[in-house]
Structure 1
Amino acid sequence: MALEEAPTWHRGLLDFPNPVNDYAARSTAGLVIVLAAVSIVVNQPWLYAVLALGFTLRVAGGPRYSPFGRLAVHVIVPQVWKKTKTVPGPPKRFAQTIGLAFSGTALVLSLLGFGLAAQIVVGALIGAAFLEFAFGLCLGCIGFGLLQRAGTIPESVCEACYNFGR
């Protein structure tokens, strides 16, 4: 018996792009910095929730569902950067997942009344986003590579990543 294909409405619903334009990722990081800084200043749970929702949407489908991702891909990169540099998608998704963990932690801390702790967590997130935005240094991508070389993430998830730098 042959396997049936997924219905067209389902195909690609939660796919993350691979490869990714590095300049779009950097632009998104810049937008995250702005929202995260406002979140620290305002220090309200609803704003941490907006930050976490953005990461959730980017983890779910890259720029497809994320307003920041769409703005980066369709406006900032073509109008400002005017460059393309493709990089593997799986490490970028992993990095977005780490961002979700940080922003989700900040949201929970804020809801529990630990506003200063939430601000510190988001401050660390800003640090990582700044490295991505300013220098193209993706800490989540570095972590992805280390986990892949340690065997935690299988080589098949991203063969280009596994062989990078060898």
Structure 2
Amino acid sequence: MTDPRGPRFAAAVTTVVMVAVLLTGSGWLALAQAAVFALTAAQPRLGPYGLLFRTLLAPRLGRPAELEPLAPVRFAQAVGFVFAAVATLGYLLGSPLTGAIAAAFALAAAFLNAAFGLCLGCELFLAYRRLTGRPLAARVPTS
């Protein structure tokens, strides 16, 4: 279980990074974001944005009202990795339109999570679980 404010903070940082990718057309910056997605999908506790949240912000915020399972967050990070990897390949292999489209999708998803708490990858994961008859609670109260 994880504090849902952490992934939302990470989405805010990702939003800024993906805006920078779109403005600069930098495949190397997209690659850096892809690496962050890959690391966080593999081991959420090691993700640099989550580490910043836990170190700098979480101690000042108090306990979260609810916790969410890690599996949907990990899945969402894996989906983000795919889009960032396609953006990286597009920019670095000479197809800036492909890079921009993939980066725009990653930006849209990150922005929705950061601004509204709507994690598209998490929702996709939860929908899959419901369709396969293995529902998973999206959030659990902490008290």
TM-score (norm. length: structure 2): 0.87
Q: Do the aligned partners of 2:86 and 2:98 also contact (CA within 8 Å) in 1?
A: no
Q: Which residue of the partner structure matches residue 18 of structure 2?
A: 36
Bigger share in helix: 2
Which residue identity is paired with 1:160? A
Q: Distance in 1 between matches of 2:136 and 2:27?
A: 39
Q: Which residue of the partner structure matches residue 116 of structure 1?
A: 97
Q: Distance in 1 between matches of 2:54 and 2:72?
A: 18
Distance 1:83 1:120, change over 3 A: farther
Runs of 4+ in 1 over 4 A off after TM superposition: none
Quick check: 1:133 aligned with 2:114?
yes
Q: Distance in 2 between matches of 1:37 and 1:77?
A: 25
Q: Which residue of the partner structure matches residue 8 of structure 2?
A: 26
Q: Which residue of the partner structure matches residue 55 of structure 1?
A: 37
Shift of 1:77: 3.0
Which residue identity is paired with 2:92? L
Q: Percent identity?
A: 31
How many residue pairs get aligned? The number is 137
* Paired residue secondary structure (2:43): helix
Which residue identity is paired with 2:25? N
Kindly report which structure 2 residues correspond to 1:67-82, keeping only aligned pairs within 5 A, or say none.
67-79=48-60, 81-82=61-62
Quick check: 1:143 aligned with 2:124?
yes
* Structure 1: runs of 5+ lacking an equivalent: 1-18, 162-166
Shift of 1:63: 3.2
Shift of 1:67: 1.7
* Structure 2: runs of 5+ lacking an equivalent: 139-143
* Paired residue secondary structure (2:118): coil
TM-score (norm. length: structure 1): 0.75
Distance 1:134 1:83, change over 3 A: farther
Q: Distance in 2 between matches of 1:76 and 1:42?
A: 29
Which residue identity is paired with 2:39? L
Q: Distance in 2 between matches of 1:88 and 1:44?
A: 33
Q: Do the aligned partners of 1:37 and 1:126 also contact (CA within 8 Å) in 2?
A: yes
Shift of 1:83: 4.8
Q: Do the aligned partners of 1:63 and 1:73 also contact (CA within 8 Å) in 2?
A: no
Which residue identity is paired with 1:44? S
Bigger relative contact order, structure 1 or 2 (CA pairs below 8 A, ≥6 apart): 2
